[in-house]
Amino acid sequence: MAETNFIHAAIEKDIADNKYPEREIRTRFPPEPNGYLHIGHAKSICLNFGTAEKYGGKCNLRFDDTNPVKEDTEYVDSIEADVRWLGFEWAGIYFASDYFDKMYECAERLIMNGKAYVDDLSAEEIKAHRGTLTEAGKESPCRSRAPEENLRLFREMRAGSYADGEKVLRAKIDMTSPNINMRDPVLYRIARVSHHNTGDDWLIYPMYDYAHPIEDAIEGISHSICTLEFEDHRPLYDWVLAELEWPMAPRQIEFARLNLTDTVMSKRYLKALVDNGDVDGWDDPRMPTIAGLRRRGYTPEALRDFCERIGVSKSNSTVDIALLEHCVREDLKPKVESRNVVENPIKVVISNYPEDACEYVEIENNKENASMGTRLVPFSGELYIDGADFMEIPEKKYFRLFPGNEVRFKGAYFVKCEEVIKDGAGNITELRCVYDPETKSGSGQETRKVKGTIHWVDAKTAVKIKVRSYGHLMIDEANGESVLNPDSLMERVAFAEPAIAAANPGERFQFFRHGYYVMDEKITSENERVFNEIVSLKSSWK
């Protein structure tokens, strides 16, 4: 994080005010292990880890598992892998559920200090008592219970004397507060649910707004960075720590969450896509998950660059997904080798090329980066060109191959189409061509110019591959709604130059004139090499 933003400005002021004299700057990334991380989380990861790095502090990875829903070790493992893949290392790794004892102890302290009470009202009654933005709330009849009675009831709640929902522990703050979050919020509820970490040890579980400040404080977090929807919860965050008289309480700072066009950023929605089989798992290349983007061929550098470019702000907005695509394109441009790959192949037979002969022509590995060297590509009298590079009846300004026209075969020779051969059904089966041996690329001997350059592969040595390209996961409709894009996966067969046979899963290339591709790590097999389009060559980002 090279740039300074409002969060860094706040931290720098705290440092200047000598607010943390004996402590380093400490942040945390606190995911709930109930799904895979998405690109929105990447923003939070870059911000939290980047901030700690910038101020020579530390950042923890904390699994916020206070809610005993279906949390899964699969999610825990994937989150660790994703954070590491992005290039960050945590100072400590913690589970919020490890703090249940401490949270309970704190609750008893609040009770004895007259700051919390056990309420018998049902969830509906509590809701009805809460009031509205324009109307004060009503106090519960249980609000005046004595601390000793509250303590006894709370201990009974823990011991299992009451049914789920029969009682809750509430903070005693102010039912007339203009901030509804301060109207005696619930701190603990009864839930007979096994927890993935603590098993059946607990029948009561702390609420997020109560648990989170305590988690931060226990870990000595200096700045608790979270998203904007928690802004109205900050007074409660501060109240909990103030009432517990925590020394050097952490400071909560909010920023706007990332929204992207043509996709969704909610774990719940993404999980539904996975569960419904709408996508091929959390790491489907169309998913905005970090695992999906990785399988799609995105690099950690591209994601970090993206997070830096979008910056942090105090107001919600939606970022054009084209910026994300721009970042990966820019990252790959100087880094990956190109390969000749043709789709919808048309056979080219060069009638004046020596029969059964073959030669190797030298082609640069990366047009933008000469240091990546060259490779030798076999050329012969039987080649394939891309279906898009031939037109029997050319349209205006079509400079590629058509009958009577001459083009350069990239890295090789000038080739002219003389005749189109068709089968009985009228399909083109081959193009009869001639080449000019005097025009070998780099020989400097050509005396005339051609307007088009096209790529090709040698027919005998070409390797059949499968290419998959992807549309956006969602379509944002004019009315603001987002619907699943039914045509988000397109699959084609293609022919590649023989060097592709040595590619490894996860390896990235530029398919010359097509786009950037990665060999799929999941479904590539010995019999079938599958490549995902990472991003096209052309940018729609302005």
Residue 308 binds ligand ATP (CB under 6 A): no
Residues 6 or more apart from 103 whose CB is under 8 A from it?
206, 210, 211, 214
Q: Nearer Cβ to Mg ion, position 67 or 510?
A: 67
Q: Residue 292's closest CA among 37, 3, 6, 500? A: 37
Residue 257 binds ligand ATP (CB under 6 A): yes
Across-strand partners of 38? 289
Classify residue 191 by its DSSP letter.
-
Residues 6 or more apart from 530 whose CB is under 8 A from it?
465, 466, 467, 468, 519, 520, 523, 524
Q: Residue 280's closest CA among 112, 88, 520? A: 520
Q: Nearer Cβ to ligand ATP, position 64 or 406?
A: 64
Q: Nearer Cβ to Mg ion, position 32 or 238?
A: 32
Q: Nearer Cβ to ligand ATP, position 4 or 266?
A: 266
Give 226-290 as a DSSP string: EEGGGGGGHHHHHHHHHHTT-TT--EEEEEPPEEETTS---HHHHHHHHHHTSSSSTT-TTS-BH
Q: How far apart are CA 504 and CA 337, in angstroms?
A: 13
Candidate residues 32, 139, 243, 382; the one interacting with ligand ATP per rule CB under 6 A: 32
Q: How far apart are CA 307 and CA 257, in angstroms?
A: 11
Could you tell me the smallest distance in angstroms from the CB atom of residue 264 to Mg ion? 15
Q: How far apart are CA 99 and CA 221, in angstroms?
A: 15
Q: How many CB atoms lie within 10 A of CB 88?
A: 20
Q: Nearer Cβ to ligand ATP, position 227 or 461?
A: 227
Single out the segment in contact with Mg ion by CB under 5 A; choices: 14-22, 24-32, 345-353, 507-515: 24-32
Single out the segment in contact with Mg ion by CB under 5 A; choices: 32-40, 85-93, 162-170, 487-495: 32-40
Fill in the per-residue mask, 375 to 394: x = in contact with ligand ATP (CB under 6 A), - = not in contact. --------------------
Q: Nearer Cβ to ligand ATP, position 253 or 503?
A: 253
Q: How far apart are CA 421 and CA 339, in angstroms?
A: 28
Dihedral sign, Cα of residue 351, residue 356, residue 359, residue 365: positive
Q: Nearer Cβ to ligand ATP, position 157 or 260?
A: 260
Single out the segment in contact with ligand ATP by CB under 6 A; choices: 28-36, 286-294, 385-393, 493-501: 28-36
Could you tell me the smallest distance in angstroms from the CB atom of residue 314 to Mg ion? 21
Specify whether 70 is catalytic.
Answer: no
Residue 14 binds Mg ion (CB under 5 A): no
Give 82-138 as a DSSP string: HHHHTT---S-EEEGGGGHHHHHHHHHHHHHTTSEEEE---HHHHHHHT--SSS---
Among 152, 257, 271, 432, which one carries the catalytic annotation?
257
Specify whether 13 is catalytic.
Answer: no
By a kind-dependent CB cut-off of 5 to 8 A, residue 258 interacts, out of ligand ATP, Mg ion, none, with: ligand ATP
Residue 319 binds ligand ATP (CB under 6 A): no
Could you tell me the smallest distance in angstroms from the CB atom of residue 196 to ligand ATP? 15
Tokens describing residue 250: 């952490």
By a kind-dependent CB cut-off of 5 to 8 A, residue 257 interacts, out of ligand ATP, Mg ion, none, with: ligand ATP
Q: How far apart are CA 266 and CA 229, in angstroms?
A: 14
Could you tell me the smallest distance in angstroms from the CB atom of residue 35 to ligand ATP? 6
Q: Nearer Cβ to ligand ATP, position 42 or 383?
A: 42
Q: How far apart are CA 538 and CA 542, in angstroms?
A: 11
By a kind-dependent CB cut-off of 5 to 8 A, residue 508 interacts, out of Mg ion, ligand ATP, none, with: none
What are the distances in angstroms from CA 495 to CA 88, 314, 385, 531, 534? 39, 50, 9, 12, 18
Residue 206 binds ligand ATP (CB under 6 A): no
Triad 313, 316, 318: Cα angle to 5°: 105
Collapse the DSSP code of 485 into the 3-class scheme (helix H, G, I; strand E, B; otherwise coil) and give the result.
coil
Specify whether 466 is catalytic.
Answer: no
Q: How far apart are CA 371 and CA 167, in angstroms?
A: 70
Q: How far apart are CA 43 and CA 502, in angstroms?
A: 35
Could you tell me the smallest distance in angstroms from the CB atom of residue 255 to Mg ion? 16
Single out the segment in contact with ligand ATP by CB under 6 A; choices: 25-33, 391-399, 417-425, 532-540: 25-33
Q: Nearer Cβ to Mg ion, position 60 or 66?
A: 66
| Chain residue whose CB lies nearest Mg ion | 32
Residue 271 binds ligand ATP (CB under 6 A): no
Residue 30 binds ligand ATP (CB under 6 A): yes
Residue 50 binds ligand ATP (CB under 6 A): no
Residue 32 binds Mg ion (CB under 5 A): yes
Residue carrying structure tokens 């990665």: 518
Candidate residues 44, 289, 488, 510; the one interacting with ligand ATP per rule CB under 6 A: 44
Single out the segment in contact with ligand ATP by CB under 6 A; choices: 19-27, 35-43, 119-127, 165-173: 35-43
Q: What are phi and psi of 534, to 5 degrees?
A: -80, -50
By a kind-dependent CB cut-off of 5 to 8 A, residue 266 interacts, out of ligand ATP, Mg ion, none, with: ligand ATP
Among 267, 296, 329, 339, which one carries the catalytic annotation?
267
Q: Is 85 exposed, middle or buried (0-12, 13-18, 19+ CB in 10 A)?
A: middle
Fill in the per-residue mask, 215 to 254: x = in contact with ligand ATP (CB under 6 A), - = not in contact. -----------xx---------------------------
Q: Which residues bind ligand ATP (CB under 6 A)?
A: 30-32, 40-41, 43-44, 226-227, 257-258, 265-267
Which residues are annotated as catalytic? Answer: 32, 257, 267
- Which residue ranges make up the site for Mg ion (CB under 5 A)? 32
